[in-house]
Amino acid sequence: METTDAVSPTDGSGSGDGGPLADAEGPGDSEGPADSAGAADGDATADAADATPAGDAAPALAVNLRTAENYVILAQSGISTVPTSAVTGNVAVSPAAGTYITGFSLKMDPTNTFATSLQVVGEVFAADYAKPTPDDLTAAVGDMQAAFTDAAGRAPSVINLGAGNIGGKTLTAGVYKWTTALRIPTDVTLTGGATDVWIFQIAKTLTVSSATNVSLTGGAVSKNVFWQVSGSVDLGTTAHLEGVVLGQTAITLVTGASINGRLLAQTAVSIEASAVVQAAL
């Protein structure tokens, strides 16, 4: 079993040369020495000429979600639930129509601008509802895509930590990048203050194993944690995640999985008897 490693982008634990490595992808990239956070972390890579000590890097700023922040679940092609889920916050799909929101037993409001569901503490919106809903959702989807691009473009302070497996680690604030898939097979702790920001850039999939928790300590807040994932996102049975998921493809929460944050997907979101609670603003 892997022991808990405290990893800080500012204390040099992301690389073997006294500081984490800045991303400089290209033919000149070379494999770095073993990461002091654990032998498995030796896959961190960067161009040696461009490596920047983390202590010189400014703290990450939160990703601006703009109007996408109005929704706890926002998807472009569909949202489904296997009852009974408990969703706190607004839910929306666009450009897909309301028929692509399934399992919620929606009841249309007399204004035809939104619907309600016994599984949602909030309102439910779709692109084919009455104005101004379609225009509002078009703006929100654009803002969601812009937030994904913003998060993806931040300069990383740690690359390929744990060779794509961060189970058992304690992570301080910073920008973490993986050119691989990322697995979380055992509990992970994010430790920091209320203004600290974590951005996780994942080139492939994110998988959180069943009964595994990602938790916050030290006053850290979920609205400042961002998971920018180019592949699918999968939370196993009763798994728990903190933060805003910016997914380029599908986001799936299986039976009993939960999140304190937001699910913002450029394709579909699927939940099964899940608890989805919006991050406090």
Q: Tell me the pLDDT tens digit for each residue of 161-172.
A: 999 999 999 999
Ramachandran sector of residue 269 (left: φ over 0; alpha: ψ -120 to 50; beta: rest): beta
User: Which range (4-8, 102-106, 145-149) has the least confidence?
Assistant: 4-8
pLDDT of residue 156: 98
Note the pLDDT tens digit of each residue in 171-214.
999 999 999 999 999 999 999 999 999 999 999 999 999 999 99
* Number of other residues whose CB lies within 10 A of the CB of residue 191: 18
Q: Across-strand partners of 262? A: 244
pTM of the model: 0.83
Q: pLDDT grade, residue 276 (50/70/90)?
A: very high
Phi and psi torsions of 126, nearest 5°: -145, 160
Percent of the chain with pLDDT over 70: 79
Which amino acid is located at 71 in the chain?
A: Y
Full DSSP string of 134-188: HHHHHHHHHHHHHHHHHHHTSPPSEESGGGGB-TT-EE-SEEEEESS-EEE-S-E
Across all residues in the chain, what is the average pLDDT?
86
Residue 72 pLDDT greater than 90, yes or no = yes
pLDDT of residue 194: 97
d(CA 227, CA 247): 8
Mean pLDDT for 150-154 is: 98
Q: pLDDT grade, residue 7 (50/70/90)?
A: low
Q: Across-strand partners of 115? A: 108, 124
Mean pLDDT for 6-32 is: 43
**Maximum pairwise Cα distance, the chain:** 63
